[in-house]
Amino acid sequence: MRPSRQRPLTVLLDATEKCNLKCTMCYFSATDRLRWEPFDRELSPDGMMPLEVFEKIAADLFPRAWRVALACAAEPLIHPRFIEMVGIAGRYRVPDLWFPTNLLALTEKKAQAIVDAEVTTVGVSIDGTRQETYEAIRIGGKWARLMKVLDLFNQTREERRAKTGLRIIFTWMKTNRGDLLQLPEFAERHGANEIDVRFVVPTAGVDVSDEVLDGEDPSRLRDELGTAAEDAVRRGLRLSSYPEYDSAEEMSGPLARLRRQWFRRRAGLDRWEYTHYRMRERLKGCVWPGDFYVVRPNGAVSPCIFWNQEPIGYYPDDSFAELSQGPRLTAILDGLRSGRPVGTCQSCSQRKNALYVRLKRLVGRGDSGDLAEARGSGSGSSDLVQL
C-alpha cells in the first residue's frame, strides 16, 4: 500500500477527548480529558465528536486518503457511536484503515463491526507480556480483561474469515525492560501479525524520568532489541516500526550492511512509503503539511500532530477545498518551500523522528544523550501512530 494521485492523504482523527486508562507514561495519567486549541471550542459537552460531524469529515477526507487512523491520542472504543463510525469509515474502502486502542472496551458487536468494516489493522497497546508489568503500567487495566478481549477479537476474525490484522504495540521502559524478549512469543500466541516497539520518551505534564532507558548500557539495549527483532521475524511477524539497534562498528563493512538491508526488507521495515516521504520532504521541506490532516474532537484541523497554533480550519464549518487551498495552509507550505517557516514550523526539528533518530544515536554511540528534546509527540502510546 502506498499513496497515489487519487488517494494522496493520510488522515489522523480523534473522535473523543477521553481514555478509560491512566497509563503511567501517558498524558492521561495527569488529566481526565485532553483539550486542543482553541480551548474554548467544543462540539459537545462530553468531548465526544457528534456522529454527523464524523460523517462530514469521512465524506470529505476518506475518499482522498490511502491511510486513515481512527484514533491518534485517545481511546476510540469508548465513543458511544463507535460502531456507527467504523461502519461509515468502512464504506470508503480506505486502503489502510486502522486505529490504536487498549481494546478493553471491546464488545462482541464492536468486534463484528470492525471486521465487517474491513479495518486493515487494529493496534493493541499492551506494554507488558505479564500481568505484573501490564497492570503496573496500564493503570485501570486488568490482565484478565485483556486476555478475554484478545480472545474475542481473534474468535470474531476467525468466524468471519476477516483479513483484519492485529498489531501489538509495546512501549519499552524500565518497568517492562524484561518483557521485550517475550514479546514475539506473546504476539504470535495471541494471533498478531505485527509488532510495534518504541522507547518511552518524556511527555509534557508527566514525570517519566524513572522509566526512560537513556542511562542504561547501550550495548545491552542493542543486544535485547536485536534478539527480540530476530525472534519476531523468525516467527513470521512484521516489524511495523522498531528502534534502530546496530552500532556503527557492526555496520562498517559492505557485507554487514547488505545483511542488514536484507533483514530490514524481510522484517517489513524498508517500505516504499518511506521513499515517498523522503521525496516529499525534499520537494516541500516537510512531509506533513498538505499530505496529512489531523482532526481533533472539537473539529479543529491541523497540518500535523505537532502544530500548536491556530488550526488551518474547522469541521463542520469548512470543506476540504477551503482547508487545502486556504490561506493558513498555503502560508505554511510557502514558508517551508522558501526556507522561511511560519508558526510551529519555525521551532520544529522533525520531532516525529526524535524517537528513532535520537535513540539510534543513543544506542549506536553509547551516549547517554538528552531525551528531553524528544518530547512533544506523546509517550509512545496511541498518540504516536504509525505514519
Question: What DSSP letter does each residue of 175-241 carry, written as one string?
Answer: TTGGGGGGHHHHHHHTT-SEEEEEE---BTTB--TTT--TTS-HHHHHHHHHHHHHHHHHTT-EEEE
Q: Cα separations (Å) of 239 from 119, 165, 184, 357?
A: 19, 13, 10, 17
What pLDDT is attached to residue 14? 98
Predicted TM-score (pTM) of this structure: 0.88
What is residue 350's predicted lDDT score, i.e. its pLDDT? 57
Q: Is 50 left (phi over 0), alpha (psi -120 to 50) or beta?
A: beta
- Cell numbers that stand for 64 in this block: 482522498
Q: Report residue 248's pLDDT band, with 50, 70 and 90 as the boundaries.
A: low
Is residue 141 very low, low, confident or very high in pLDDT (cuts 50, 70, 90)?
very high
Instruction: Give the pLDDT of residue 320.
Output: 97
Closest CA to 200 of 210, 189, 186: 210
Please choose, from the candidates 85, 65, 62, the residue with its C-alpha nearest in 3D space to the C-alpha of residue 15.
85
Q: What would the pLDDT profile of 224-236 be if each residue is shown by its tens digit?
A: 999 999 999 999 9
* Average pLDDT over every residue of 303-311: 92
CA atoms of 82 and 52, how far apart (whole Å): 13
pLDDT at 263 over 50: yes
Q: Is the per-residue pLDDT at 1 higher than 80?
A: no
Task: Answer whether 18's CB lies under 8 Å from 73's CB.
Answer: no
pLDDT of residue 284: 76
Q: Are 172 and 221 in contact (CB under 8 A)?
A: no
What cell does 165 get?
A: 490484522
DSSP conformation class of 106: -
> According to the model, what pLDDT value does residue 334 have?
92
380 pLDDT band (50/70/90 cuts)?
very low
pLDDT at 357 over 50: no
What is the distance between the alpha carbons of residues 26 and 192, in angstroms, rounded to a whole number?
24
Residues 239, 240, 245, 249, CA torsion sign: positive
What's the first-to-final CA gap in the chain, in angstroms? 12
Query: What is the DSSP secondary structure assignment for residue 189, as one 8-state letter?
Result: H
Q: What SS3 state is found at 271? A: coil
Q: Name the β-bridge partners of 167.
A: 123, 194
Are 53 and 315 contacting, i.e. CB atoms less than 8 angstroms apart? yes
Task: Determine the pLDDT at residue 276.
Answer: 76
8 A C-beta contact, residue 155 and residue 199: no
In which band, very low, low, confident or very high, does the pLDDT at 254 lie, cut at 50, 70 and 90? confident
pLDDT of residue 235: 98
For 271-300, the pLDDT digits (tens) are 877 777 777 777 777 889 999 999 999 999
Q: What is the mean pLDDT of residues 132-157?
A: 98
More confidently predicted of 69 and 359: 69
Mean pLDDT of 334-345: 89
**DSSP classification of residue 203:** B
